Amino acid sequence: MAESEVIIDRPKGSVHPKFGEVYPVDYGYLSNTTAMDGGGIDLWRGSDPAQRLDAVICTVDLKRRDSEIKLLIGCTPEEKELVYQFHNKGPYMKGIFIPRENVAE
């Protein structure tokens, strides 16, 4: 994260272009990184001023037959729950929430 810029291309409240779901938190990616789909590593950026990377969500997309990680940066507990629910709404996308242990305050 220290060497990449956070790019938010789907702000909170915007609508997913294919599925019509509303993004509950800012969504984007890290510049100069590569994920499995060829784009940048995905991330959710919340409203906590500290902006710590303290969790990830590992997703499996049964339609696309792939998996990815999504970084959670600066997400409050409520925002983390919203992101988790976003990735577990439908029958084809599922996510597992993994908190980072022992994050220094």
pLDDT per residue as tens digits for the range 4-48: 999 999 999 999 888 889 999 999 999 999 987 888 999 999 999
Is residue 105 domain-resident? no
CATH of the domain at 76: 3.90.80.10
Does residue 62 form part of some domain?
A: yes
Q: Round to whole Å and give the CA distance between 20 and 100.
A: 30
Q: Is residue 79 part of a domain?
A: yes
Query: Is 84 inside a domain boundary?
Result: yes
Q: Which residues form the domain of 25?
A: 6-99
**Residue 1 forms part of a structural domain:** no
Buried b (16+ CB within 10 A) or exposed e, 18-34: eeeeebbbbbbbbeeee
The model's pTM is 0.91
Is residue 74 scored above 60 in pLDDT? yes
Count of structural domains, the chain: 1
pLDDT in tens, 86-105: 999 889 999 999 998 865 55
H-helix or E-strand spanning residue 80: helix 77-86
Residues whose CB falls within 8 Å of the CB of residue 19, separated by 6 or more in sequence, listed in order: 90
